[in-house]
Chain A
Amino acid sequence: MLVSQQQKLQDEIRALAARHGRTRAALVPILQDLQVRYASVSDFAMQVVADEVGIHPAEVYGVVSFYAFLHSQPSGRFQIRLCQTISCDLAGKARVARQLENELGIRFGETTPDGRFSLEWASCLGMCDQGPALLVNDRVYTRVSAEQVHRIIDDCRKVFGAHAAQAAHAAHA
């Protein structure tokens, strides 16, 4: 990472710590904000967060590795999470899953080489009466069929650009 980028990240983390508080209880909110902005929490970011909150970096890593929505490895700008739990399973999630893999050319647990899409399984999304359900970042899709998968991915591609994360967020608000 370039020094200037490191400096920028460091400043950003300091601002987050100032906002959420420099206490252990603020750790998860700080990490969540970083996850949204950078689609992962890098080793360097964990080190800075640890300094800000006053704990050992290994403790930060312990937290990042525990939660499914925090990633220490780079993940896609668009995180697609398909519910794998029983009601969505009964509603036909297997075919949606296969089609997601076909359209993106990756398997579950992988990220496309261009860094746009990650494909993951999710535990129950609370949309059990309208399955199969999936999340794209913070947007929820219900009653998804295999033939709709293509359109969902296309929607994401359209908003992808220099400000993809913000654009995606604005479109969902």
Chain B
Amino acid sequence: MQPTSSKKTPLTFDTIAPGQGLAAALKKSRADIIGEVSASNLRGRGGAGFPTGTKWNLAAAAQGQDGGAKYVVCNADEGEPGTFKDRVLLLEYTDLVFEGMTIAARAIGATKGILYLRGEYVYMRPHLDGVLAARRTAGQLGANILGTTGFTFDIDIRMGAGAYVCGEETALIESLEGHRGEPRNRPPFPVNTGFLGQPTVVNNVETLASVSAILAKGAAWFRAIGTEKSAGFKLFSVSGDCGAPGVYEFPLGITVAALLEKVGGTGAKAVQIGGASGVCVPASEFGRRIAFEDLATGGSIIVFGQGRDMLHVAKNFMEFFVEESCGQCTPCRAGNAKLLEGIEMLERGACSSAYLRELLNLCETMQLASKCGLGQSSPNAFVSIVTHFQDEILGRTAAAH
């Protein structure tokens, strides 16, 4: 009943001694730190895959208003269904995360860091506060960090309050500023106009831990892992119908089939890659690769065994989005509700294929017209389940499930 560690394989992070990355970074100029991160081809581990070096470059070049501060925000609002690798990093590799934030601060010239921790993870607070205090004592946070004159940086923890949408970076910033977590229009991007209008870098927990590893071991080492467009190793949160659910590390580019073999999930009916906002991949496509150029993911892998009802899966995802849509823009607010209604019609066996086509058109509208990633990606699971399992979801009778 008490949570246990989710780690199923040794992680590369085990081989990175805390402090190594920061020490290496402080020997470099700011431009060289960003150069190293850019050369590693590290892309955002939250799932969107934006090149981290590019983001830092933009923030480094941006001028704060009235000479104001710049900010580094660690996005620990891990809320994508099926994702829990950041929990492991925050609890077991805490120093690497804070170190990554400190390196980012050095690179862009930030003085203040904020860890935005989801409300559901409030039980981590004593641990995280303890690590921060120890880092201050060790001179790794505060004024003149590790003897580097003029490099002042400290980290605050702010709690989320139970809103999935706050994982979207501009909604997260709205929340930090004391507003409803409603995403902003972009541009302007947070690297120019972020927290309190100042240049702000928002990076995922795993991205920041990876930065510590890259500075410790070098960009070439990192780039040699993975594929050309998706460099490096990646943590995967595996759950659902498999022998050993938990957190795994694999190089990006691994096929779904190879991953299933490692986690005891062979013979699965389908796999959801990327959480509720990702896509559902049927067994016929298990040869596809998990990488930014094929199946992009923040690491969520949910395995569905042969006996699972895929319409039930689609319904669960859609209930999630109806609940979590911030309600600001119409395609998302009304669209998700309409899709859920459609799924309930399918459940009753009362949906014509003409109406199903209408629903798929609505999905396209939502993908194109929603304001933020939530509404743009919420129809993905529905579309892929309808496409691959049409036979299973049409013409149901009450006895069918």
Contacts and interface: CB of A to CB of B under 8 A. Distances in A.
Q: Do A and B come from one complex?
A: yes
Interface of A: 23-29, 31-32, 53, 62-63, 66-70, 84-87, 89-90, 121-131, 135, 138-144, 148, 152, 172-173
Interface in B316-330: 316-317, 319-320, 323-324, 326
B81 A139 contact: no
B4 A130 contact: yes
Nearest to A148: B1
Contacts of A127: 3, 84
A28 B239 contact: no
B122 A141 contact: no
A25 B308 CA distance: 45
Given A28-B178, A63-B178, A124-B80, A141 B1 contact: yes
Given A66-B181, A129-B237, A25 B176 contact: yes
A130 B5 CA distance: 10
A40 to B, nearest CB: 13
A128 B237 contact: yes
B241 interface: yes
A90 B161 CA distance: 26
B78 interface: yes
A23 B3 CA distance: 37
A125 B120 contact: yes
Given A90-B240, A124-B79, A140-B3, A28 B120 contact: no
Contact of B240 (A24, A84, A87, A124): A87
Interface string B149-178: 000000000111111100000000001111
B35 interface: no
Given A86-B317, A90-B241, A139-B123, A128 B181 contact: no
Contacts of A126: 78-79, 83-84, 86-87, 118, 120-121
A69 B166 CA distance: 13
B302 A62 contact: no
A31 B158 CA distance: 12
Interface residues of B, number: 57
A74 to B, nearest CB: 18
A47 B80 CA distance: 34
A78 to B, nearest CB: 15
B276 A142 contact: no
A128 B245 contact: yes
B82 A128 contact: yes
Contact of B175 (A28, A125, A140, A144): A28
Contact of A124 (B81, B175, B272): B81
Interface of B: 1-4, 6, 78-84, 86-87, 118-123, 126, 158-164, 175-181, 196, 237-241, 245-247, 272, 276, 302, 304, 308, 313, 316-317, 319-320, 323-324, 326
A34 to B, nearest CB: 12
B3 A130 contact: yes
Contacts of B164: 123-124
Nearest to A124: B81
B239 A131 contact: yes
Contact of A129 (B2, B6, B326): B6
A130 B81 contact: no
Contact of B158 (A29, A123, A139): A29
Contacts of B181: 66-67
Nearest to A62: B180
Contacts of B158: 28-29
Given A84-B319, A90-B308, A67 B3 contact: no
B123 A86 contact: no
B216 to A, nearest CB: 27
Query: Which of A90, A122, A126 has its CB near the most chain B CB atoms (within 10 A)?
Result: A126
B3 A142 contact: yes
A143 B82 contact: no
Contact of B161 (A32, A53, A86): A32
Contacts of B245: 87, 128-130
Nearest to A60: B178
A142 B1 CA distance: 5
A26 B178 contact: yes
Contacts of A63: 178-180
A66 B123 contact: no
Nearest to A90: B240
Contacts of B320: 84-86, 123-124
A28 B164 CA distance: 16
Contacts of A121: 323
